[in-house]
Structure 1
Amino acid sequence: MAFKSRNVPSDGCRVMNLEEFKQWLKKFDSDKDGLISIEELSRAIRTTGHRWFSRGRGKKAIDAADSNHDGFIEEDEVEELVEFALKHLRIKIVAF
């Protein structure tokens, strides 16, 4: 599954707005339950070019965003992934 965004500036960060980021994550919800598991998030991370340690990064992302500690990212927790995405995935979420 290719990772596409509108813009990849010279700093290498991919740029998308929050809604595009949410839609991108939904592509990896393989069981269509509305939740992003560590396996699904790890698969998403691999598409950004982070082939090594994607499961470890997925766990860090889940830990950072999972406010109810159920082990999944729900739609209302996606915004918590924004900082993680910029820092670890080189994805910049902007308002446009």
Structure 2
Amino acid sequence: MRCVEVHPNQEMTVDEFKAWLRRYDSNSDGQISQDELKEALHGLRSWFPWWKARQVMKEADSNHDGLINSSKEMEKLIHFAQQRLHLKIHDW
């Protein structure tokens, strides 16, 4: 798998998206916190990354523990990235 530099409107696979996101897992616990997500969004040069990170957590964090830590929550994060961040993420 190649090292992915992510930009809006760029196509990538789900695995490439997850690999990119893991770069922001600052404590290497395999989970994404709101602060880590904010840094990832900042890396995209997204406007208002703190607000978007909060929105993702509201939509994706189904058990309200402040972390994206299950495959279902990751699916919700990917859906948010596709719909609201205009990232083209595919299964292939």
Would you say same fold, with TM above 0.5? yes
* TM-score, normalising length: structure 2: 0.84
Asked if 1:31 corresponds to 2:31, the answer is no
Alignment of 1:10-49 (within 5 A): 13-49=9-45
Alignment match of 2:68 (pick from 70, 73, 80): 73
Aligned residues: 89
Deviation at 1:31, TM superposition (A): 0.7
Gaps of 5+ in 1: none
Percentage of identical aligned residues: 38
Alpha carbons of 1:26 and 1:75: their partners in 2 closer, same or farther (altered >3 Å)? farther
**Structure with the larger RCO, 1 or 2 (CA within 8 Å, 6+ apart):** 2
* TM-score, normalising length: structure 1: 0.81
Asked if 1:63 corresponds to 2:58, the answer is yes
Q: Distance in 2 between matches of 1:62 and 1:15?
A: 24
Q: Distance in 2 between matches of 1:18 and 1:56?
A: 24
CA RMSD after TM alignment: 2.0
The structure 1 segments of at least 4 consecutive aligned residues displaced by more than 3 Å after TM superposition are none
